[in-house]
Structure formats: C-alpha cells, structure tokens
Amino acid sequence: MIDINILRENPQLVKDNIKLKFQDEKLPLVDEVVQLDKKNRDCKKQGDELRAKKNTLSSQIGMLMKSGQKDEAQKVKEEVVAINAKIAELEKQEESLSARIKQIMYAIPNFVAKDVPIGKDDSQNVQLQTFLQPKEKNFDVPYHAEILEKLGGLDLDSARKTSGQGFYYLIGDVARLHSAILSYARDFMIEKGFTYVIPPFMIRGDVVSGVMSFSEMDNMMYKIEGEDLYLIGTSEHSMIGRFADTILDENKLPITLTSYSPCFRKEKGAHGIEERGIYRIHQFEKQEMIVICRPEESEEWYNKLWNYTVEFFVSMQIPVRTLACCTGDLADLKYKSLDVEAWSPRQKKYFEVGSCSNLTDAQARRLGIRYKTSKGMVFAHTLNNTVVAPPRMLIAFVENHLNEDGSVDIPPVLRPYMGGKTKIEIK
C-alpha cells in the first residue's frame, strides 16, 4: 500500500505507475479514492467541530440548571441530542468511506523501481547474469519424474489416489536428499548471520491481506473451512505477519531471519508436460529469507539476498542465471523483483527456482510495522527471497548430476547430510 499523501498531492504520478504495470483498468480507482478521501476528511472535520460544540453546550447545561434556568437547560439538552444524532450519522459515513478507501488503496500497486524493465509479462523479463557454464551431456536426459522413479524415489500414482493431481510421495534416498538440501540451506543461512525460525503454517485473514494482493490471495491460498485461517503459500506470510502492529527498536534493525515451512498453493499455473511431474504442485517445502530494515538499507539487502541464492546453487554445482522481472510481471506489492533460474539439461533452458523481492514499505503500511526515530515514526522496508524450494529444485539437481547409468552424484557440500553417500543408485 502506498502513502495516501502521494495520491492527494500527485495523483498523476500514481496513474503513471499503474500504466507502467499495464493495469489500466485500475486508473479510475485513483480519482475515486481522491474524491472519497476528501469526503472522509470533510466528515471528520464536521464531526470534530460538532464534538467541540457538544462539549461547550454540555458544560452550559449544568450552569443553567444551577441558576434555575430549567427551560433553557432543556433546550440545550435537545440541541445536544440532535448533535449526537448527527455525529453518529457522520461516524457511520466515515466507517463506510474508510472501508472503501482501504479496499482501493490495497488494489493500487506499489511504485516500481526506476531500473525495472518495462514489459507486459514474464516473457519480457531481462537476463542479467549467468553463473557456472552448463555442462553438455553426451546422452539424452530423461524427464525428471522418470529419473526419480528409477531411483525408487517418486510415487505419483499413489499420491493421485490419496490426494489427487499435484501431490507426490518422495521415498528413500530421494526423500533423504530432499531433506538434506533443506538442512544444508538452513545451515547455509545461519552461517550468513540469519536467525532460524519455524513459523505457524496457518495465518488469519487480516495477515493474508496484509502481505499480498487480493488477486494473489484468491489464486494461491487454501482457506480452512469454518475458520478465519489460511494455509500459508510461503513462510514469508507468517514471518512478516509476526511483526504486525509492532514498533521496532531501530537499534535492532535490520532483522534477518531464515525460515522453514511447508507451503500450500491452489494455482498450478500453465498446463503442459511439466505438470505431470513435480514442477507445479499444491504442496512443497521451502527455506526462505526475510529482512526487515531501514528504507535506506533495502537496496543493499536486495542485492545481498539474491546473491546468497546464487551462491547456494553454485555450491551444489548447479548452473543458474538471474532475471530482472519486468513491470507487468511484478505483484502489486513489489517494488522490484529478481528471479533465479536453474539450468535444465533436458530442456536446454533455464527455469525458475527462486525469487527475490523488495517490497519497500508496502507490506509495512498494511500491517503497521514501524520503528521510532528522532524525527518520528517510520515504516520499515521488507524483503523476502527463496533460499531453496524442493522438490522443484530436485529437478535441476537430478538433471545436472545425472550419470549415463542413471545414478545421480551428490556434491561434496551435501554429503555430510546424506550419511557420506557420494551418489544415489538406480533401484
């Protein structure tokens, strides 16, 4: 959510930003919220004036009664009653106007950074850098589900029977590899100075609306029937929600956290061959990074965060590249975002394995996350980034470390988490 003062002072600036994000259908919202805001402030002003008048009249009643002017006192009482009715009417208007203003402000996107490339969708994202040269295989790389099944590590058919499409069983050494990657990611981030956290896996509706846009919420979140609880789509949701309505100690900023959680998502995305494996699924696990910092620090932290993900993948000998997300590919709360993509030897292309985002103060304004300075209260900046999200990451792992005999090598950094194993053999 942006600062409403910007809308009051320069609504055209907000409209120009909406156009950059190719959301022209939201342009009328700018004029509407400006008009509603003026009405709301007028209502508040009238209400304040009436309350002041009421206080003055109320003090007169006692004086009139003491002096025996009962008829005059009664007239003043009737005037106070009328004022109370008018105040109640104005408060009802304020409540209605404030609710609509909040709804619109939640729909208006955050400002985008000047260095974000302009484009309508993810097809216009811009490659920035590549890390590690992809190694050519001298054999055909099978589909990832086939590799995992031959390793005795994946059962999709049973998962369809128990849970439906988009679920899976990981088994044996593949399940152990999955956990090993998460454990390594946890320790990797702890060594970077981040505090490890396991958050709640369900959050309330007001937290959901604070951390994401309505469209994302509708497409992603599973709601618990009969309760004001949602399954998290990423641990960022409950991690940021932890600081809602909190005044932070400036001396303790930045707050740097790394969290583990399962994640649950309704949307499966584009249809195609990748849907038959474990690329787009309803349930997965993830290690995340969260930073809450001063506004002047957020750009520096943004660059640190995505570099950590690159370093993590390179340490496992997986080639990756970084992409700057274009304006049309940014979610409403994002100021800028960068995707990390891993190389797929089978497809001969990169695919997304993580995303780093700077949301400036958009989430903090929704949730009331502030810190006190000598100049007053300041909204903090929030950032999030994926360390790793298996089992999607397993696709890149098994394809890049696959041998011609069907076995999969385990790089040195993961061997301590795999009981010293150097490879996973075909079962």
Residue 114 belongs to a domain = no
Residue 115 belongs to a domain = no
**Residues paired with residue 351 on neighbouring β-strands, in sequence order:** 342
Same-domain check for residues 214 and 148: yes
Same-domain check for residues 197 and 91: no
| Burial of 81 (C-beta count, 10 Å sphere; 0-12/13-18/19+) | exposed
Residue type, 160: R
Q: What is the dihedral of CA 132, 138, 144, 149, to 10 degrees?
A: -130
**Residues paired with residue 377 on neighbouring β-strands, in sequence order:** 372
> Using CA atoms, how far apart are residues 148 and 216, in angstroms rounded to an integer?
31
CATH number at residue 175: 3.30.930.10
Residue from 298, 317, 261 nearest 383 by CA: 298
Same-domain check for residues 234 and 95: no
> Using CA atoms, how far apart are residues 61 and 82, in angstroms rounded to an integer?
15
Half-sphere exposure for 253 (CA within 13 Å, toward CB): 23
pLDDT of residue 159: 93
Element (H, E) at 64: helix 27-66
Residue type, 317: Q
Q: How far is CA 398 from the centre of its chain?
A: 29
pLDDT of residue 274: 52
Structure tokens at 314: 């390179």
Same-domain check for residues 37 and 178: no
Q: pLDDT tens digits, the chain, 427 residues: what are they? A: 899 999 999 999 999 999 999 999 999 999 999 999 999 999 999 999 999 998 888 888 878 777 888 788 888 888 889 999 999 999 999 999 999 999 999 999 999 999 999 999 999 999 999 999 999 899 999 999 999 999 999 999 999 999 988 899 999 999 999 999 999 999 999 999 999 999 999 999 999 988 887 677 777 889 999 999 999 999 999 999 999 999 999 999 999 999 999 999 886 454 444 557 888 889 999 999 999 999 999 999 999 999 999 999 999 999 999 999 999 999 999 999 999 999 999 999 999 999 999 999 999 999 999 999 988 999 999 999 999 998 889 999 999 999 999 999 999 999 999 999 999 999 8
CATH number at residue 14: 1.10.287.40
Same-domain check for residues 103 and 140: no
> Using CA atoms, how far apart are residues 319 and 313, in angstroms rounded to an integer?
7
What is the DSSP track for 1-33?
---HHHHHH-HHHHHHHHHHTT-GGGHHHHHHH
Q: Is 272 helix (H, G, I), strand (E, B) or coil?
A: coil
Same-domain check for residues 149 and 214: yes
Same-domain check for residues 420 and 302: yes
pLDDT of residue 270: 45
Angle ∠(96,52,47) on CA atoms, nearest 5: 15
Q: Which of 44, 77, 107 is the last residue of a domain?
A: 107
pLDDT of residue 190: 98
Residue 173 belongs to a domain = yes
Structure tokens at 217: 């919420």
Residue 61 belongs to a domain = yes
Q: How many CB atoms lie within 10 A of CB 56?
A: 10
pLDDT of residue 59: 82
Same-domain check for residues 78 and 183: no
Side by side, which strands form the sheet with 376-379? 246-248, 369-373, 376-379
Residue 113 belongs to a domain = no
pLDDT of residue 399: 97
Residue 233 belongs to a domain = yes
Q: How many CB atoms lie within 10 A of CB 397?
A: 29
Based on C-alpha coordinates, what's the Rg of the chain?
A: 28
Structure tokens at 356: 């780093």
Q: Which of 52, 72, 107 is the last residue of a domain?
A: 107
Residues 111-120 pLDDT 10s: 999 999 999 9
Same-domain check for residues 85 and 129: no
Element (H, E) at 87: helix 70-107
Same-domain check for residues 165 and 300: yes
pLDDT of residue 60: 86
Range of the domain at 308: 122-424
Q: Which of 48, 77, 107 is the last residue of a domain?
A: 107
pLDDT of residue 77: 87
- Could you give the residue ranges of the DSSP H alpha helices within 273-330? 298-315
Residue 50 belongs to a domain = yes
Residues 242-288 pLDDT 10s: 999 999 999 999 999 999 999 998 864 544 445 578 888 899 999 99
Same-domain check for residues 187 and 217: yes
Residue 116 belongs to a domain = no
- CA-to-CA separations, 188 to 194, 316, 331, 334, in angstroms, rounded: 9, 12, 28, 26
Count of domains forming the chain: 2
Same-domain check for residues 139 and 246: yes
Rounded to the nearest integer, the mean pLDDT of the chain is 93
Determine contact, residues 348/330, Cβ cutoff 8 Å. Answer: no
